[in-house]
Chains A and B, each alone.
Chain A
Amino acid sequence: MDPIHQFNISKLYILGHIGGHEIAITNSALFMFAAVLIIIAGMLAATARRSLVPGRAQAVVETTYEFVAGMVRQSAGEAGMKFFPLVFTLFSFILVLNMFGMIPGLFAVTSHIVVTVFLALVVFLTVVIYGFWHNGLRFFKLFAPSGVPIYILPLIVAIEVMSFFARPISHSVRLFANILAGHITIKVFAGFVALLGGLGIAGWIGALLPLALTVALTALELLVAFLQAYVFAILTCIYLNDALHPGH
């Protein structure tokens, strides 16, 4: 009945110790491995025949490719396509993990902020490192919008720098908070069904309302699961666009 219990991390297999810390395969790690395996196996299996008229699986893979490629081109331009592998990996990884979370009994990896922070940091560091490598010091133009009077420029630059560093926080918190809140809400309403159901006939009738809500919320969460993967990917594209074209 505890709505938080579903997020418990349990150690499945202890690999060893590094510097006094236990290194173990947890249920979280297991589902991440499973997601990677499913994505790779699915992609390979679907594109193995490479028929001109795609079958059902191949059509799904091709549509996903077109979807992500269109997203990258639209937000980061044609030059952004060199980051297509990164965006596609992030999108498919988060999508599959979110969808795992929607299956009852499975673990929602993206409901843990440590996972989403790491994904957001990968994007952030890519933007910073590639931004400096590609643009050199011109990358700093990102923080100085043109047409700002010189006497308020220091303040604007300070705020822009802060807003730049706040990005990975909101980038990761958005995904994590949506998945966490959604799963807790579903669990709480499902808990009402069980509680009311224990009260006899009147309870059964009363339980219909939370039951209907649980069904509706599950549908909504399915949408959110897809949408958060999409939002994460499109924000990645927008941030990468800054690394490609700072200040122009």
Chain B
Amino acid sequence: MADRRSPDDEAALSARLKQLGERIHEAGARRQHEAEELREQETRRQSEPTNLATALRLSGEFVAGVVLGGLIGWLIDHFARTSPWGLIVFLLLGFGAGTLNAMRAAGLVAQQGAAEKKD
């Protein structure tokens, strides 16, 4: 087989080899990145010993947002007599805030004020 290889084939082969090398390099970098992320998650998980603790933490964050939103909305309605608009608007905002806090607690979103630090 080797004797029939033309210079064209050689060039194509070396190009493919180079491409393959790049892809392996990329995959290696990606895997390293993933491993680092996993390690980060692991350290985060270690500060929560049980699944119950994680559940309590995430649900607590979420419920806190909704409860606060409901409370503010109800108070606004109570004093400004805008019922039920305050409750509707602030419950929705509270829902958003609770989701945001729960995602922050789970490490899916950067902490408040930390967004620019990473640049």
Give A contacts to B, CB under 8 Å. 141-142, 145-147, 155, 158-160, 162-167, 169-170, 173-174, 177-178, 181, 220, 223-224, 227, 230-231, 234, 238, 241-242, 245-248
B69 lies within 8 A of chain A by Cβ: yes
A164's closest neighbor in chain B, by CB? B112
Inter-chain CA distance A162–B90, complex, in Å, is 9
A163 to B67, CA, bound (A): 11
Determine the residue in chain B with the shortest Cβ distance to A235.
B105
Contacts of A164 in B (CB 8 A): 112
User: B: which residues have CB within 8 A of A?
Assistant: 47-50, 52-53, 56-57, 60-61, 63-65, 67-69, 72, 90, 93-94, 96-98, 100-101, 104-105, 111-113, 115-117
Specify the chain B residue showing the minimal Cβ separation from A160: B112
Contact of A170 with B53 in the complex, beta carbons under 8 Å: no
Beyond A220-B50, A224-B49, A245-B117, is A166–B101 a contact (Cβ under 8 Å)?
Answer: yes
Whether B97 contacts A166 by the Cβ 8 Å rule is yes
Q: 24 A-B pairs, CB-CB below 8 angstroms?
A: A146-B115, A158-B93, A160-B97, A162-B65, A162-B68, A162-B69, A162-B93, A165-B68, A166-B64, A166-B97, A167-B64, A167-B101, A169-B68, A170-B60, A170-B64, A170-B101, A173-B64, A174-B57, A174-B60, A177-B60, A220-B49, A224-B50, A227-B53, A242-B111
Point out the residue from A155, A178, A230, A247 that lies within 8 Å of B116, measured CB to CB.
A247
The residue that A230 contacts in the complex, of B47, B61, B117, with Cβ under 8 A, is B47
Compute how far the CA of A220 lies from the CA of B65 in the bound complex, rounded to whole angstroms. Answer: 29
B50 to chain A: closest residue by CB? A220
Tell me the smallest distance from the CB of A197 to a CB of chain B, in Å.
Answer: 27
A169-B113 contact given A181-B56, A227-B47, CB 8 Å threshold: no
Determine the residue in chain B with the shortest Cβ distance to A143: B112
